Amino acid sequence: MDDYRGKKVLVTGGLGFIGSNLAIRLVGLGASVTILDNLDPGGGGNRFNIDPVKNDVNVVIGDTCDLEKVQPLVSGCSHVFNLAGQVSHIDSMEDPFSDLRKNAVGPLTVLEACKKKNREARVVYAGTRQAYGRADVLPLVESLVLKPVDVNGVNKMAGEWYHMVYHGAYGIPTVSLRMVNTFGPRQLVKHSRQGFIGWFLKLAIDGETIQLFGDGQQFRGFNYVDDVVEALLVAGTSTKVVGDYFNLGGMRPHTLESLVQTLLCATGSGAYKMVPFPSEKRSIDIGSAFSSFIKFHVATGWEPRVPLDEGLRKSVEYYRQHKEHYW
Amino acid sequence: MDDYRGKKVLVTGGLGFIGSNLAIRLVGLGASVTILDNLDPGGGGNRFNIDPVKNDVNVVIGDTCDLEKVQPLVSGCSHVFNLAGQVSHIDSMEDPFSDLRKNAVGPLTVLEACKKKNREARVVYAGTRQAYGRADVLPLVESLVLKPVDVNGVNKMAGEWYHMVYHGAYGIPTVSLRMVNTFGPRQLVKHSRQGFIGWFLKLAIDGETIQLFGDGQQFRGFNYVDDVVEALLVAGTSTKVVGDYFNLGGMRPHTLESLVQTLLCATGSGAYKMVPFPSEKRSIDIGSAFSSFIKFHVATGWEPRVPLDEGLRKSVEYYRQHKEHYW
């Protein structure tokens, strides 16, 4: 981790959930961090997210699709964390062109900037398990065909493969991590469009009733954000990951019902009930889906360290303390 | 094939190579054909291509990215052949955003128009073998992971998967055919950026020397355009292909050297020599790559019927007769 000391690092989407946690950690490691974030009103960007390091990072408000803006930002960087994007599956179906812009044009623009200005930068991309679509076999492993079931999954798949292409064609050292359901401090929790964990967390803290679609027995993999940040940092330094893609994943899969029960233990408030699937969600639901992170573990030694209950307790504590910035 | 009689059919890219051959055939089958083509100066669109049916088709000059323009055109159609796109691999590396627009935004816009105006239309997409990238095993089969090596391959992969998503989420009956190297009348031949066969054909007819990169022993699959048109028509009517993707492919693979030798037999003019790979082509070259069309054959009975030598003879005849429109 000493590799980051004194280095110039760009984090796109750095005011968002994972980006801000990463930026805070990078500052702690002695990196010189620039954040590029468009603070899209529909996105997860939140200036409070970087409150602990607000005087230690350079924040540029702008769009990753703006090549003229991105080019000078990548110049001289040792690392670019290409995290900016749109994460809502349902939004991607309602406005597929906006999703395409944010999840395909944006990452491609960052790569194009690196091609023009800095082919040495390690570019780490936030891919997603969603690109696999509905699982024919579990766990999801990297040798499986990607069969995305929503526009977001297609565009994130394209975003990942631009990184592979820019490695193969231009030698830019890129790597993609296919993230699973990530949770923790600094996530958007005020509505359910950007993932259900944050939304469930808010409902539980507010003492409300969580609605679980279907029977709640769908398995998922969950990663606490600190583990994901660690994975990003490792992907930025490992010599064995360049030009390749890797699953992240939880210690073990949990059912959604078990997630909610663990959450309600952490909050001591709230309740849950099962309800039928709304049709617009049913059509893009993927059922059980969890990933094996063994390829990444073998390459780098990374493994998740924060158990679900501990991560949820820390999250509840954070949001209770900083409620006014997230509610 | 009687399914097309009296039907309203839209062909995007219908002034281009495959689109115009398809449109001509559809007119012969009694369909009411509308062509949407932007006559992009860099593309393969050519008004002469539809000369045999110029009074029998409705030609709309416009862009598939223009949702307002596309919506009325898909209304009432029984079939939409979503063929418009950009086919140059090297252009996609030089201007990735233009490729993204033409190969991802365009097809997505056509699907979005169908979602809004006509969810019954059979939408047939021209996918590509290029999305597989460099082959780990041959022949290429549909169960293999797509690993595109250029921006064009990534965007065409995305274009295909939008079709799968719009089937799964909205029930639109879509299908994608992953085309191999297609050749025949009405192809752009005046430069080499849109495929090497047309370019080789022009050089041979002109009595010039064809340059083969590397040792010329790379195997490829080739389809004569009439076979591809037949495949598109079959994909438009078969009940067993909806929501799925299929390779096309030649009767058997041929080396590039064998292709050129067969071509020179057909022309009786021209020559060839081996030259080293230019570096910008080397970095995105895929080596040997040929596909199995057996999945599509089992589903539909389609198989290629025109052998390479016969197809090349017909092509040479066509271009010699209509040279002024293609040179």
| pLDDT at residue A287 in the model | 87
* Smallest CA–CA distance from B104 into chain A, residue: A100
pLDDT tens, residue by residue, B141-189: 999 999 999 999 999 999 999 999 999 999 999 999 999 999 999 999 9
| pLDDT at residue B280 in the model | 78
| pLDDT at residue A286 in the model | 84
Counted across chains A and B, CB pairs separated by less than 8 A come out at 93
Among candidate residues A184, A182, A183, the one with its CA nearest the CA of residue A317: A184
Are B170 and A96 in contact (CB < 8 Å)?
no
- Record the pTM: 0.96
| pLDDT at residue A209 in the model | 98
A60 touching B (Cβ < 8 Å): no
* pLDDT mean over A293-312: 98
| pLDDT at residue A285 in the model | 80
Distances (CA, A) of A136 to A2, A149, A245, A272, B247: 41, 13, 20, 29, 21
CB atoms within 10 A of CB A137: 7
Tokens representing A198 are: 């944050």
Residues of chain A contacting B96 with CB distance shorter than 8 Å: 108, 112, 162
B279 touching A (Cβ < 8 Å): no
Q: Which of the four pLDDT bands, split at 50, 70 and 90, describes residue A103?
A: very high
Are B108 and A93 in contact (CB < 8 Å)?
no
Q: Which of the four pLDDT bands, split at 50, 70 and 90, describes residue B285?
A: confident
Residue B278 has pLDDT above 90, yes or no: no
pLDDT tens, residue by residue, A128-183: 999 999 998 999 999 999 999 999 999 999 999 999 999 999 999 999 999 999 99
Residue A232 has pLDDT above 80, yes or no: yes
* Smallest CA–CA distance from A111 into chain B, residue: B96
Residue A53 has pLDDT above 80, yes or no: yes
Residue A184 has pLDDT above 80, yes or no: yes
Among the residue ranges A310-324, B146-160, B176-190, B275-289, the one predicted with the least confidence is B275-289
Among the residue ranges A2-16, A236-250, A279-293, B311-325, the one predicted with the least confidence is A279-293
A104 touching B (Cβ < 8 Å): yes
Average pLDDT score over chain A: 96
Percent of chain A clearing pLDDT 70 (strictly above): 100
Are B146 and A151 in contact (CB < 8 Å)?
no
Residue A303 has pLDDT above 90, yes or no: yes
pLDDT tens, residue by residue, B8-55: 999 999 999 999 999 999 999 999 999 999 999 989 999 999 999 999
Q: Which of the four pLDDT bands, split at 50, 70 and 90, describes residue B231?
A: very high
Q: What is the architecture, at CATH level 2, of domain B2-184+222-250+290-307?
A: 3-Layer(aba) Sandwich (3.40)
Partner residue facing A149 (CB), from B149, B154, B168: B168
Residues of chain A contacting B146 with CB distance shorter than 8 Å: 145-146, 161
Are A158 and B153 in contact (CB < 8 Å)?
no
| pLDDT at residue B283 in the model | 78
Tokens representing A184 are: 């923790």
Q: Which of the four pLDDT bands, split at 50, 70 and 90, describes residue A238?
A: very high
Residue B258 has pLDDT above 90, yes or no: yes
| pLDDT at residue A310 in the model | 98
Are B145 and A148 in contact (CB < 8 Å)?
no
Are A158 and B104 in contact (CB < 8 Å)?
yes
Residue B1 has pLDDT above 90, yes or no: no
Residue B286 has pLDDT above 90, yes or no: no
How far apart CA B292 and CA B295 sit, in angstroms, is 8
Residue A284 has pLDDT above 80, yes or no: no
* pLDDT mean over B216-232: 97
Residue B259 has pLDDT above 80, yes or no: yes
Partner residue facing A104 (CB), from B104, B109, B169: B104
Q: How far is A182 from chain B (nearest CA, A)?
A: 24
Q: Which of the four pLDDT bands, split at 50, 70 and 90, describes residue A280?
A: confident
Average pLDDT score over chain B: 96
Are A165 and B147 in contact (CB < 8 Å)?
no
| pLDDT at residue A270 in the model | 97
Burial category of B41 from C-beta neighbours within 10 Å (exposed 0-12, middle 13-18, buried 19 and up): exposed
CATH code, residues A2-183+223-250+292-305: 3.40.50.720
| pLDDT at residue A195 in the model | 85
Residue A11 has pLDDT above 80, yes or no: yes
* pLDDT mean over A182-205: 94
Percent of chain B clearing pLDDT 90 (strictly above): 93
Residue B279 has pLDDT above 90, yes or no: no
| pLDDT at residue A35 in the model | 98
ipTM of the complex: 0.96
3-state secondary structure chain A: CHHHCCCEEEEECCCCHHHHHHHHHHHHCCCEEEEEECCCCCCCCCHHHHHHHCCCEEEEECCCCCHHHHHHHHCCCCEEEECCCCCCHHHHHHCHHHHHHHHHHHHHHHHHHHHHHCCCCEEEEEEEHHHHCCCCCCCECCCCCCCCCCHHHHHHHHHHHHHHHHHHHHCCCEEEEEECEEECCCCCCCCCCCCHHHHHHHHHHCCCEEEEECCCCCEECEEEHHHHHHHHHHHCCCCCCCCEEEECCCCCCEEHHHHHHHHHHHHCCCEEEEECCCHHHHCCCCCCECECCHHHHHHHCCCCCCCHHHHHHHHHHHHHHCHHHCC
| pLDDT at residue B91 in the model | 94
| pLDDT at residue A168 in the model | 96
